[in-house]
Amino acid sequence: MAETRNDALAAWMTEHQTSAEELADAVNEAIRDFTGRLGTTVERTVFRWLSCENRWPQERQRRALEAVTGQTMAALGFVPRGRSATAPEPPPEDPSVHRRRFCGAATGTAAAVAVPLIAAAPRPFRVGTSDVIRLRDSIDTLTALDAERGGHNALERAALAGAAEALDLQQRSSTQRVRARLYALASDFTATAGWSLIDAGQLDGAGKHLDRALTLAGMAQDPEMTMQVWNLRAMLARQRNDFGEAVAAAQAAQATWAARRSRLHASLAHARTAIGLAHAGDRRAALRSLGRAEEALSKADTTAPRSAWITFYGPSELYSLTAIVRDVVGDPAEAEAASYRALTALPETYRRNRAHTTARLALAQLHQNEVEQAYATSTDVFQIMAGDPLPGRMRQLLGDFQRDLITHAPPRIAHEWADRYRTEWSTHDHGDR
């Protein structure tokens, strides 16, 4: 049976959050770059590619598609005329000739973001949708690095470099639509820089980045970025122990159009509100907000395309947040159960989140006087993060564990853990944090 959809192209568009209209624009701009004249590809053309009605675009479109995506035509699911879908693939063209990417694949090392992630190739004279796609792709790279290693100064610098690049391109853009998208990307990059400082425990500079990100989100008129900033504002206030502001920021996230439109976003906003209320001592309201988060997530389409910043959120993250709420309001057994569920559901690539949830599990066990088990669990954190410094937020959480251990454990165990804690601490306190 003949194919009815080009799944490879559809997958690329979903991964890069690119609409048919945006891809058509980007292809036309790429054609202009190497011919001097804007291409004539329209949205309907892209739909024909997706439906396999047109399985082999014109030569200029093929060249432009490879330039925009960094993929060969075969990798994008296209088949030359006269060849079947199961025939051997033709020799791929060298994609390095056409790649126009903001940065390469994430390496998981500090070197990947130690310098601005700007492509070595010269910038095109004209700015358009292809630049939006290229910059958007780089957000995914930074998000993956954050999930692997956590917040650190090199990640902040790379994010700020991305924001500067987006704003520079915005000044040279000729259309309002592209300018708005570049403002949104600048907001996303700047919010990422703010989050990196929050996770690194460097709270003083984070607020400045988030203020700037909120301004840029307003200039872009982008409710998605607006919610991202309010979500981070709630986290920053919580880290500062300003629980009233944490609740207010989370409620502002609830009020955004993004949260009203998407149950996934609404669930995160309610969960963040629950965190603030729990720390503020309002058990009943915290559990009520947590219930709303669970209900919203149960009705959300977790398979739908989403922005890079919220890819972390799903059942595993809600279990992790549930563990925090339950432990804070005095239900450590429920917190322990939620932590185990989170660790079972958490993707392997989310190393920082796994270490953080493991530390929360140790706290929940300690609060049930399971001292030996808590001791063993807490040491797993260092093994999970082996090879990288512990982000400041995680170090603070382990500090909380140490203080509670002194309260709950016999002096011998507390001193033994403290000795190991100092050793592991010094081992993990290196690198560009």
**Over the stretch 116-125, which tens digit does the pLDDT of each residue have?**
444 434 444 5
What mean pLDDT value characterizes the chain? 85
| Choice between 224 and 18, residue whose per-residue pLDDT is larger | 224
Integer-rounded Cα radius of gyration of the chain: 24
Residue 83 confidence class, pLDDT cut points 50, 70, 90: low
- What's residue 426's pLDDT? 63
Looking at mean pLDDT, say which of 3-12, 171-180, 342-351 comes out highest: 342-351
Instruction: Please indicate whether residue 326 or residue 312 has the higher confidence score (pLDDT).
Output: 326
**Which residues face 331 on adjacent strands?**
none
- How far is Cα 385 from Cα 128, in angstroms, rounded to an integer? 40
What confidence score (pLDDT) does residue 57 get?
Answer: 93
By mean pLDDT, which of 126-130, 221-225, 267-271, 372-376 is the weakest?
A: 126-130
Q: Give the domain 315-433 fold.
A: 1.25.40
3-state secondary structure (DSSP) of residue 173 = strand
> What are the tens digits of pLDDT across the range 37-69?
888 999 999 999 999 888 899 999 999 899 888
Highest mean pLDDT among 79-83, 128-132, 183-187, 424-428: 183-187
The predicted structure's pLDDT at residue 125: 54
pLDDT at 266: 97
Q: Looking at the predicted structure, is the pLDDT value of residue 297 above 70?
A: yes
Q: How far apart are the C-alpha atoms of 68 and 33, rounded to whole Å?
A: 11
261: CB partners within 8 A, 6+ apart: 223
- pLDDT tens digits for range 233-252: 999 999 999 999 999 999 99
- At residue 184, φ and ψ (nearest 5 deg) are -65, -40
Residue 256's Cα: distance from chain center in Å?
19
Over residues 167-188, the pLDDT tens digits come to: 998 888 767 888 898 999 999 9
Residue 263 pLDDT class (50, 70, 90 cuts): very high
The mean pLDDT value for 288-304 works out to: 94
CA-based end-to-end distance of the chain: 55
Q: What's the DSSP call for residue 96?
A: G
| Ranges 114-118, 267-271, 283-287: which has the least confidence | 114-118
Q: Residue 244 in 3-state DSSP? A: helix
